[in-house]
Amino acid sequence: MLPPKVRAVYIKELRDALRDRRVVLASVIVPLMIYPLMMLGMSEVLTATQTRMLKETYTVAVPRTMRPFFEHLMEDAKSGDNLDDVPGFGDSRDPLAAKAKMLREANKPEVPNAAPMKVHTIPLTFVEMDADEAGKKLATGEVKAVVDIPLTFEEDVEANKKVEVNVRIDAAEHRSVDAASRVQALMERYSKQALKNRLKAHNMDVKDLQPFAFVRTNVADAAKVGGSLLSFLPMMFIIMIITGAMYPAIDMTAGEKERSTLETLIVTPVRPIEIITGKFLAVATIASATAGLNVLSCGGSFLMMPIPMLNQAGIPWQVLPLALLLLIPLTFFFAALLLAVASFATNHKEAGIYCMPVFMIPIVGMVMVMMPDVELDGPLLFAPVVNVALMIKELFLRHATAEHVVFVFFSTCFYAAGAVALAARVFAREEVLFNAQGSVRLFLSRKFFKPSDRPRWGDAMLVAALLFPINFYFQLWLQKALLDFNDVKVPNFVLVVALPLYLLFLGMPIFIAWYLKLDLKKTFQWNAPPIRAVIGAILLGVSSFFIAQQLAVWQSWVWPTSSSGMEALEKPIHELSSTSWGLTVLIFLIGFSPALCEEHFFRGFLQQGLLQKSAKWRVLLLVGFIFGAFHVPLYRQPIVMLLGVVLAYMAYEAKSLWPGVIYHFMHNSSTFIWPALLGVKEEAPNPGEALPNLPLQWMVPAVLVFAVGLALIRAPRPKRDEISSADKMATAAGN
Amino acid sequence: MADPINANEPVPVPIPVAPDAALLPPAIEPIIHVQALRKIFHTHTGQEHVAVDRIDFHVARGEIYGLLGPNGAGKTTTLRILAGLMQPSGGDVIVDGISGAADPMALKERTGFLTANTGLYVRLTPRETLRYFGELRGIPRDALEGQINELITMLGLTAFADRRCEGMSTGERQRVQIARTLIGHPQILILDEPTNGLDVLTNRLILDFVKQASKRGHTIILSTHHLDEVEAICHRFGMMHKGVLLAEGTLAQLRVNTGKERLSDIFLEMVARVEGAPPPEVSAYDSGQARAVAMPDDIQGRFQ
């Protein structure tokens, strides 16, 4: 349910956009029509090509006196023996023939009688001329190919001499290549016949040439083969989304400025965030509808249109809804990004220029990653936009894993939230709304920021969205630069763990808060905590390890553990935990550093920013969710999210960062302190195995201590009579 | 080079401005207090441009206040701050006791804003436009439909109320704009160059609307650089030049102090004075040099 003013903007923008022929054209008609038109086009081109191949007669030059020989070959091809079982020259170099062959192989179960190409359907005309003259005519296109063949060819073959036949072509001319393929087909047939004759002369059979049979069996079903043929589709989907979002985004921002309607809108008692949210939702709706129509049109076209290659291969229908699901957050991303960018422009033309990079950069990225050998892994897993394109491609190819789908979906949601935050921030700036010259610089320059207590909602979300990929790529770079996974050195390990924490989760939020002229003390809640919250944090710190472990056990019943892929890092951890000095380093690294740094970002900058606009529990849950999302692998995330919510609740109730730091520090440290104290030899579970329950004598005290800790954290509420007397005083003061 | 209009005349003392509410007749309740209002814009090279420089004035409830001055005087910026569209760089606008700097939404709730150049959503009908702006003003749905019908009847929009705004004449568009401004019954109407570039008939439409709105109890601040056309409708005038409020008063007072009849002549006289001598300092306002400005009789009568 949308707030009334947001709803009003949303409905109006949607109505306005749908009455605009340009929006209807770009967002509805083009996405619907592109596939039928493309299919028709492809069908026409294929038919025309095949017709040309079958009917068009090419002239080929041969040496003088050799014309009768080739005409004889033509006649023989029409009426001669079937020589399919005789080895030829190898794979045909004719691309169309190669495709037909691939499809015959791919679809053997469904289309066993797919017709092979017939040599006799290929018409050629042979003319005799000198080699030099033939070369000149080949260059002018009068002849399509020139066959250099010895005049004693037949005798030489009869005499078992080694003979070479050369076909000269103009590779820039498709017809010339075609003609060469036809000549090759004829010569191959002659070669087969000669081979058969030679074998016969030695009383041998064709089968004797093959000591064993080598058979290639295709196990891919028709839909998967179809998927491989359709791997270009993700790029089409994404291009259509951008096309669908671009015009409405420009019209709702730069268009409003151009028509001078923006002033009438912002003069109403509506906050900029409400206006931009309504506009964003309208653009996102249109872009989502574009995506939906595009996917629908794509499916419908493949169903209805006679593209033999695809219809024989099969369409992976089940992939299309999932592809659409992945495209929805991407529509949000582009809707917000285009709104933000177009807001800087003063008219449609200018906005079109500003938005061009938003259109072009993803396309260039997608073209690069859509190469056959590129897979969704490593850095590409979190690369905005291209990860969605690759994910859909993987879905078509049936390589996708659930973990990848979740990562791509949530990372795109993150980027979308960041783009929305950016749009909100841009739209709230009066120099952007009132077309100040150089508004981009004014928007970014610290000099023009007004001091404030805490970050805004948009700033918090934007920083979270930026930090997400930066953290990932920075860690990946550090690991690549510093870690040898076969032999992890302790100092390098320390750097790999500590640097992202201190630079990104502590340094970056403090720097941004300073840059935005925020009150650092209020933003990060650096004030002293109440003593009850400190005691509560300590109680939670000593007990939550057991609760988290038991939750992990329960989770493993329904979601078996899997490999983290970071087993190599266990070696330096074990190495460090074996000495008291190493244990101190480990406590600093895994206990203290994440507690100090992550609390500054998640419960400081992020939570304080989100609380500016959203209600308490919504924020606490969101902070917990985002906190969990930053912690890979996937199976760890649900429990980390819960811990994140507890930490967020603690920071909210204590009005101070420090209890959370204490709790976070104790929880992390207890992961290796408690097992040591209790004499438990910690062994990593085998992937796929369910974990054993924790003993009851550990769990009962842990739950009790945890509950007391939570109760202590909760800030004391004013009593009812205190509230009513305060109300009375306020009323009296008002009167 | 001296201004030819004043070349042979002695430089008179600039007319002081009356910024202090205490100096207004006590029976008249000021609804708008503009206090040391300042707005600085930054160019893309980081240079400062002072668009409005510490101006003070008050507007009484029900008054039509003309903010006059040439293009670039700072009128639009002042009005945008008054309407809550921009945040001041210094000073404040107090409306009904509420600080505009602290709560711009409160300003927006109380003001309707109209200019000659603001556009309409051409793909919406006037009725849809009014409904949209009514919803943005938070008017309950039942009351909103009543208000829309009332405005459509009052402004003669019935014939084209359900026709899209594209293709409407300038006059029809301005009527829709007026209706949009009035939706939600804002107490204060801010009209920024409302007649700029309009034809004679539409011009008359707007000026009639201003008079009618004043009779209905709206407080109006009207800016224009067509000085003479508002002589007859404004109760008081403030004259701005280069971001500074040069003078303020009723037409009669301004005539007495300049010896000129027409507002345009009065304005030129003011400009000549300040160009010849430095503009009045803010300290002058505070030092008691400011002079009380009497309200027109009809306004006084209404509030006494």
In the predicted model, what is the mean pLDDT of residues A371-375? 73
pTM (2 d.p.): 0.71
Give the 3-state secondary structure of residue B223: strand
Query: How many beta-carbon pairs under 8 angstroms link A with B?
Result: 89
Of the candidates B230, B183, B188, the one whose C-alpha atom is nearest the C-alpha of residue B208 is B230
CB contact under 8 A, B132 and A431: no
A-chain residues near B177 (CB < 8 A): 264
CB contact under 8 A, A19 and B138: no
Backbone torsion region of residue A127, taken as left when φ is above 0, otherwise alpha when ψ lies between -120 and 50, otherwise beta = beta
Look up residue A517 and give its two tokens.
């002229």
Q: Are the C-beta atoms of residues A542 and A670 closer than 8 Å to each other?
A: yes
A-chain residues near B83 (CB < 8 A): 267
Mean residue pLDDT across chain A:
81
Of the ranges A341-355, A365-379, A384-398, which one carries the lowest mean pLDDT score? A365-379
The helix (H) or strand (E) run that includes residue A538 is: helix A531-558
Q: Are the C-beta atoms of residues A145 and A58 closer than 8 Å to each other?
A: yes
Question: What is the bridge-based pairing of β-strands B90-95 and B30-42?
Answer: antiparallel
- List pLDDT tens digits, range B27-80: 467 889 999 999 988 776 667 888 999 999 999 988 999 998 888 889 989 999
HSE value, Cβ hemisphere, 13 Å, CA-based, for A178: 20
- List pLDDT tens digits, range B69-102: 888 889 989 999 998 888 898 999 998 888 888 8
Residues 103 to 142 of B: which have CB under 8 A from any A CB? 105, 108-109, 111, 113, 115, 117-124, 128, 132-133, 135-138
Provide the ipTM: 0.79
- pLDDT for A541: 92
Who has greater pLDDT, B41 or B7?
A: B41
| Tokens 């004679």 found at | B200
B294 — pLDDT class (breaks 50, 70, 90): very low
B-chain residues near A268 (CB < 8 A): 108, 133, 136-137
- pLDDT for A562: 62
CB contact under 8 A, B41 and A260: no
**Of A9, A11, A263, A268, which to mutate for an interface test with B (greatest number of B Cβ within 10 Å)?**
A268
What b/e sequence results for A641-656 when a residue is b if at least 16 CB atoms lie within 10 Å of its CB, and e otherwise? bbbbbbbbbbbbbbeb
Which amino acid, residue A211? P
- List pLDDT tens digits, range A447-462: 777 788 999 888 898 8
- List pLDDT tens digits, range A662-701: 999 999 888 877 877 777 665 556 666 667 777 888 888 8
Which residues of A touch chain B, with CB atoms under 8 Å apart? 4-5, 7-9, 12, 15-16, 19-20, 259-261, 263-271, 430-431, 434, 436-439, 441-442, 445, 447-448, 450
A-chain residues near B41 (CB < 8 A): 431, 436
In the predicted model, what is the mean pLDDT of residues A405-417? 86
Q: Are the C-beta atoms of residues A629 and A605 closer than 8 Å to each other?
A: no
CB contact under 8 A, B121 and A271: no
- pLDDT for A645: 94
- List pLDDT tens digits, range A429-449: 777 777 655 566 667 777 777
- Please tell me which of the candidates B45, B105, B118 has its beta carbon nearest to residue A261: B118
- pLDDT for A564: 55
Above pLDDT 90, what percent of chain A?
26
- Cα gap B132→B116, rounded to integer Å: 20
In the predicted model, what is the mean pLDDT of residues A525-533? 92
B-chain residues near A24 (CB < 8 A): none
Which amino acid, residue B180? R
- pLDDT for B264: 84
**Of A5, A14, A267, which to mutate for an interface test with B (greatest number of B Cβ within 10 Å)?**
A267
- pLDDT for A147: 93
- pLDDT for A383: 85
CB contact under 8 A, B118 and A263: yes
Is the pLDDT score of B295 beyond 50? no
B191 touches chain A (CB under 8 A): no
Q: What are phi and psi of B243, to 5 degrees?
A: 85, 0
Of the candidates A61, A325, A291, A269, the one whose C-alpha atom is nearest the C-alpha of residue A179 is A61
- pLDDT for B290: 35
Q: Are the C-beta atoms of residues A519 and A693 closer than 8 Å to each other?
A: no
Of the candidates A161, A157, A216, A167, the one whose C-alpha atom is nearest the C-alpha of residue A192 is A157
Is the pLDDT score of A115 beyond 50? no
Backbone torsion region of residue B25, taken as left when φ is above 0, otherwise alpha when ψ lies between -120 and 50, otherwise beta = beta
- Cα gap A309→A313, rounded to integer Å: 6
In the predicted model, what is the mean pLDDT of residues A113-117? 41
- List pLDDT tens digits, range A126-170: 999 998 999 999 999 899 999 999 988 988 888 888 888 999 999
Closest approach of A12 to chain B, Cα-based (Å):
7
CB atoms within 10 A of CB A270: 23
The segment with the largest mean pLDDT, out of A6-10, A242-246, A257-261, A496-500, is A6-10
- List pLDDT tens digits, range B244-264: 998 888 888 888 888 888 888
Of the ranges A68-72, A107-111, A380-384, B211-215, which one carries the lowest mean pLDDT score? A107-111
B162 touches chain A (CB under 8 A): no
